[in-house]
Structure 1
Amino acid sequence: LISRPSFENISKKWVPELRHYAPNVPIVLVGTKLDLREDKQFPMNFPGACTISTEQGQELRKEIGALAYIECSSKAQQNVKAVFDAAIKVVLQPPLKSKKQKRKFGFCHAL
């Protein structure tokens, strides 16, 4: 949540690599270092740093097809459990695929 280059690398580098090597794995997008984004001293200590908003994170989630987006801080213990809960949920309760998605792979029927 505090690094524009890391944010941009998600869609440019990491997701394409993930889709190549593990195409059917669900994605949970996690914004880390929430405590620093909320720290009023952060911009003064790191001039020129650009934080990532919740809205930007949600937009990236949609863009990359992630099933969840969560912001957390391990230092402040904010939403850490929610990250693991979301990961478990997307594996144990995957979203239902639409008919359009099912047809994409096709089926062979013998008559």
Structure 2
Amino acid sequence: MASWMVVVVVVSDDPVFLAAFTQQARKSRLLVWTTRFLVVSRRAPHSLHPLHETLALTNSLLLVVDDAAMARAAGWVVLPYQRPGVAPLRVASWTAEGNVSLHRPLFWDKFSK
């Protein structure tokens, strides 16, 4: 029995491109629940609100790299059915010194009770 996993990684700071990509990926069924979707950007999580629905309803992680230092990053998850104005949940952070802080697994079942 074969087992495999699809991970889609998109790197962009352009919210228009990211919104268009996610819309097309959902239409084409590329982003199903078993697909892990990673968005890497330097933009703050609240500025990527066009991605909100896709990030909320897929197995996704938003990785935000600190624009000034490029030495820090944080991982964010948008919870299912979360209102667009509510901040995503921070699940991890990294520093250039090698410090990693995981508050939850990076890809966890957001829909479990």
Same fold by TM-score, threshold 0.5 exceeded? no
TM-score of the pair, normalised by structure 2: 0.39
**Highest relative contact order (Cα 8 Å, sep 6+), 1 or 2?**
1
Higher strand share: 2
